[in-house]
Amino acid sequence: MPAHKPHQMTASDIVRAIAAGKTTAVAVAEACLARIAEREPQVEAWHYLDPQLVLEQARALDRRGSIGPLQGVPVGIKDIIDTYDMPTEYGTPIHKGRQPQLDAACVALTRRAGGLIMGKTVTTEFANFFPGKTRNPFDPQRTPGGSSSGSGAAVGAEMVPLAIGTQTTASTIRPAAFCGCVGYRPTWGDLRCAGVMEASGSLDTLGLIARSIDDIALYRDVLMGITPEALPADAGAPPRIGFCRSPMWDQCEPETKQLLENCASRLAQAGAAVSDVELPAEFARIEDAHRWISSFEFARNRAWEIDHHWDMISETLRNNRIRNGLDCSEKTYREARAFAERCRLRLDDLFAGYDILLTPAVAGEAPPGLEATGNASFCAIWTTMHVPAVTLPLFTGPKGLPVGAQLVARRDDDRRLMMAARWVQRACA
């Protein structure tokens, strides 16, 4: 059932309510602006927000004759994604005041569908290690995750129902898991990244953060430029689930291990075919391959900033991603790429027996402190494999904070992943 307050509604509920004449884009925008005014001092999810511009857009949407698939839905946009009417500064003072002339493809498609661009959400510096100002909406003394920190926190704090992030390692799945949201990283190459700052083109994707898997499916279709097709109301047959502890299992907190073990048992009791999956031994090296690929490409993409503004780059970024990239030889880079592709082919074969894998999204609850964004290892392997992934807010940790569970599927099986994810969520409700 739709929530009573507009700022709590899902994107799908907002579209239906506007189409039925029960609310307006202006009313939804005003409710979200009020929620931002209430929560932003604690959360600090927004890098750029102009309430007057928001209301002007909302009034224009209410005047237009047609109802788009995202009609009146407020959307947060990560500050590495170009917007023609708002600055895009990449989370660094180097690009302060940078004003794009065009919208990124994903922003243009959002506007075409009737979406309301609410503002720019905080990113870590160049969508990498060094954190921005954003705090976890459930505990302001803890990280919201990164690099799409503002996008995860804005949805988690009920400021907007949808937000776009990106993912090169764990930049969508991790903040969604820490902030109690549904997060989605698509099959690599599906969603266009024109107008999005490139970190590592061999790994980058857009990432979507929402309140429901149905909203993820809706927004994915919009960004694919196709007519949205709602997920079937029937949850369908129970999926074949591989419980994959992954090579990073030892990095999980004990409580998270137990939550995932209990989840696997509960899904089996609900009718799913659940069995343990052990990845081939060489998959333990994928995280190293990811580091060399991402660092080599990132250091080349930031050549201008390195040459002209080295002192304005944080020591954290200089001494990690950039230094790794500059020290990486072309031979090592090529070998890492070839190794990753061999593993992708092996993973394709493994999926012959499963619809999805259940695996950790994060080590546990968002860690205390704002100096880092949390362990990214649980996503690096799947990001490098180019597979679609979803995190669902299924668990609560020992401190009462959200902990997400990650589901992954074979490349190009994004819709099957979403249907299975909804089945899992209903079974765990």
Q: What per-residue string of b and e applies to 161-183 under the rule 16 or more CB within 10 Å gives b?
A: bbbbbbbbbbbbbbbbbbbbbbb
Cβ partners under 8 Å of residue 19, min gap 6: 67, 71
- For the chain, the helix, strand and coil percentages under 3-state DSSP, each to the nearest 5: 45, 15, 40
| Rounded distance between C-alpha atoms, residue 413 and residue 346, angstroms | 16
Say how far apart CA 65 and CA 238 lie, in whole Å: 42
Long-range pairs for 93-98: beta carbons < 8 A, 24 or more residues apart: 93/312, 94/305, 94/309, 94/312, 94/313
Catalytic residue, candidates 148, 151, 171, 295: 171
- Determine the Cα–Cα distance for residues 333 and 335; give it in Å rounded to an integer: 5
Query: Which residue has 């890492």 as its token pair?
Result: 336
For 39-90, where are the E strands, in sequence order? 46-48, 74-78
Q: How many whole angstroms separate alpha carbon 147 and alpha carbon 165?
A: 8
For residue 155, give the nearest of 106, 216, 209 by alpha carbon.
209
Contact 395, 402 (CB under 8 A): yes
**Residue 98 phi, psi (nearest 5):** -65, 120
171 has catalytic annotation = yes
Of the candidates 78, 149, 212, 246, the residue annotated as catalytic is 78
**147 in catalytic set:** yes
Closest alpha carbon to 121 in 48, 68, 63, 66: 48
Residue 110 burial (C-beta neighbours within 10 Å; 0-12, 13-18, 19+): buried
Kindly name the residue from 147, 149, 151, 377 that is annotated as catalytic.
147
Tell whether the torsion through CA atoms of 248, 254, 259 and 262 is positive or negative: positive
Between CA 248 and CA 189 the distance in angstroms is 26
Residue 380 class from Cβ within 10 Å (0-12 exposed, 13-18 middle, 19+ buried)? Answer: buried
CA atoms within 13 A on the CB side of 321: 26
Alpha helices in 64-183 (DSSP H): 105-112, 149-156, 173-178
Cα–Cα nearest to 357, from 259, 249, 192, 240: 240
Q: Has 265 been annotated as catalytic?
A: no
Q: Which residues are catalytic?
A: 78, 147, 171
